[in-house]
Amino acid sequence: QVQLVESGGGVVQPGRSLRLSCAASGFTFSTYPMHWVRQAPGKGLEWVAVTSADGRDKFYADSVKGRFTISRDNSKNTLYLQMNSLTTEDTAVYYCVREKPYNDYWGQGTLVTVSS
């Protein structure tokens, strides 16, 4: 069965960096575009970024452009999100999501808290 397991969240100070990972299993990872979607505490869903199946094409929300980098290693079935220059506004649960092209599978999420 399809599984998406995020890791790498935690508490980080403003201005610092963090890298999230998402381990995928149960499907042919290299054939699906993948997304990151986040949800601030008590708030709605915010789309963050997408990478094409081969990793060549990447698109970002304006709120993270220039600070976040999405990438993937298809040999390891793993999706990444490198987050730099973090601010308190980035505090959220980050979900790894498969595209079909609708988002059919979501991970359980990993919590990132940006606080001094």
Partner 1 sequence: DIVVTQSPDSLAVSLGERATISCKSSQSVLYNSDNKNYLAWYQQRPGQPPQLLIYWASTRESGVPDRFSGSGSGTDFTLTISSLQAEDVAVYYCQQYYSTPRAFGQGTKVEIK
45 binds partner 1 (CB under 8 A): yes
- Name the residue among 83, 93, 86, 80 with its Cα closest to residue 114: 86
Stretch that binds partner 1, among 24-32, 39-47, 67-75, 76-84 (CB under 8 A): 39-47
24 binds partner 1 (CB under 8 A): no
- Find the binding residues for partner 1 in span 56-95 (CB under 8 A): 59, 61-62, 95
Is the Cβ–Cβ distance between 41 and 106 less than 8 Å? no
Give me the torsion for CA of 52, 80, 65, 105, rounded to 10°. 60
Kindly list the residues in this chain that would bind partner 1 in the complex (CB under 8 A).
Answer: 35, 44-47, 50, 59, 61-62, 95, 99-109
